[in-house]
Structure 1
Amino acid sequence: MIIVNAKFSVKPEAREDFLNEINALIASSKQEEGCLAYDLYESAATPNEFVMIENWATKENTEVHNTNPLLLAFAKNVANYVAAAPVLQIVEKKED
């Protein structure tokens, strides 16, 4: 399994645009083959700080996901929404 965590510090004035675009991406991504989970969470302690947690069955599934047109558009637009560069963490979890 591949686990992807992406942290976003969103500018308050860009919050609604960020949520609109990322919610469309979430809905699309959840329909992709191998998507086990694709969820966005907001920090209870820090407003406008979000973490996307993705779980994919295989590395190949993530590679196909990386060609999703909504993901590519979001990647182009993300600088308009965030106060700092997103932080990505990718982990491959070996099955027991």
Structure 2
Amino acid sequence: MIIYVFINIKSEKREEFLEVVNQMTASTQDKEGYISLNFYEDTARPDNFVVEDENANKHHTQTAHFNTFVKGMSEFLCELLYAEAYDAFKI
């Protein structure tokens, strides 16, 4: 499964957001079920990010770790985040 989360953050919260993102990325390295977690900034729109979360199963989205991250994002957001999830397989 691959999840894409589109985030538009408050400019004044940028540095704090980046710290949380770095901690989140580092803490997932040893979590079961994670394949990769990447954050990308939109070069055309400052303070807009895309999270690419590739994990081995849907159970990941029900973990305390994932839910804490999602709930913690509210203080940074300018608008509701938008997410898309896809089942994926290697060809």
Is the TM value for this pair above 0.5? yes
TM-score under structure 2 normalisation? 0.85
| Contact map agreement 2:39 2:50 (CA 8 A) in 1 | yes
Runs of 4+ in 1 over 6 A off after TM superposition: none
Q: Structure 2: any 5+ residue segments left out of the alignment?
A: none
Letter in 1 for 2:19: N
Q: How many angstroms does 1:74 deviate by?
A: 3.0
In 2, Cα distance between the equivalents of 1:43 and 1:15?
14
| Contact map agreement 1:22 1:74 (CA 8 A) in 2 | no
CA-based RMSD = 1.8
Q: Identity rate of aligned residues, in percent?
A: 24
1:58 aligns with 2:57: yes
In 1, Cα distance between the equivalents of 2:41 and 2:61?
26
TM-score under structure 1 normalisation? 0.81
1:80 aligns with 2:75: yes
Residues 8-66 of structure 1: CA deviation (Å, up to 9, x unaligned): 10110010111111211111112212211100000111111000101112223x146x2
Q: Give the 3 Å change call, closer, same or farther, for CA 35–74 of structure 1 in structure 2.
A: closer
Letter in 2 for 1:75: V
Question: Which residue is 1:33 aligned to?
Answer: 32
Letter in 2 for 1:29: T
Q: Structure 1: any 5+ residue segments left out of the alignment?
A: none
